[in-house]
Amino acid sequence: MIFSRKRAGDGRDEQVVLDENELDAVTPPTLDRGPYDISEAPAGVARLDLGSLHIPAVPEVEVRVQADQQGVIQQVVLVHGSNALQLGVFAAPRSEGIWDEVREEIRQSLLGDGAVVEEVEGEYGIELRARIRTEDGPTDLRFVGVNGPRWMVRGVFQGDAAVDPAAAGPLAECLYGLVVDRGQEAKPVREPLPLRLPREAAEQEDAATPDGDRPAAQSRQV
């Protein structure tokens, strides 16, 4: 697995090869339905360990991350062809899920921005589909929420997968095989769970970047 990271300011691409120790396993992913809590995750699946999220290594899916200078990931986007899936994971109460409440807040925010929004029944229950206005024209988004034990995963599909779930293909497979490592630390409800670069990628970046000469945020691809 390879990170191709583009440095801010100079447009150069650099590559970091991750050895098999950066993956949870080295066998092909399964199609069992997740996201899973780490306590229930199937064994024998190759996954990229980003801390709170372990992403199955699905062929032809790029994992693009934006991280700060400490290696803390701010954004994770999976890309396959013209489709994309942005992932976020958040702390939730032990007693109940928070997707219904979060979904309504997203809906109200989108409506306030003039978007066309509807709620539909999806694979994981009620999801949001929206058409927003951008500088490049109308853009379709599909918001999916999955409640887990003390966590919630939010996925945002773009491209054809935003209007036709069947078009998600490998991106849906990534969501089915996603694993959440919530940890035991108490966290405020809705606080994003910590994400980080794989250890070897962070170490190679430190070795390749002079002290004090690292940009505030960089984008990388797997």
Q: Do residues 202 and 59 lie in contact, with contact meaning Cβ atoms separated by under 8 Å? A: no
Distance CA 187, CA 168 (A): 32
Residue % of the chain over a pLDDT of 90: 68
Average pLDDT over residues 54-79: 92
For residue 213, what pLDDT is reported?
A: 53
Q: How confident is the model at residue 87 (pLDDT cuts 50, 70, 90)?
A: very high
Q: For the segment 96-114, what is each residue's pLDDT rounded down to a tens digit?
A: 999 999 999 999 999 999 9
Answer yes or no: is pLDDT of 29 > 50.
Answer: no
Fold of 36-197: Protein Transport Mog1p; Chain A (3.40.1000)
Please, what is the Cα angle at 74 between 154 and 39, to 5 degrees?
50
Confidence of residue 30 (pLDDT cuts 50, 70, 90): very low
Residue 95 is predicted with a pLDDT of 86
**216 burial level (CB within 10 Å; 0-12, 13-18, 19+):** exposed
User: End-to-end CA distance of the chain, in Å?
Assistant: 6
Q: Is the pLDDT of residue 176 over 80?
A: yes
pLDDT at residue 201, as a whole number: 57
What is the Cβ-side half-sphere exposure of residue 95, based on CA atoms within 13 angstroms? 0
Tokens encoding 25: 């396993």
**Backbone φ and ψ of 100, nearest 5°:** -60, -45
Mean pLDDT over each residue of the chain, to the nearest integer? 83
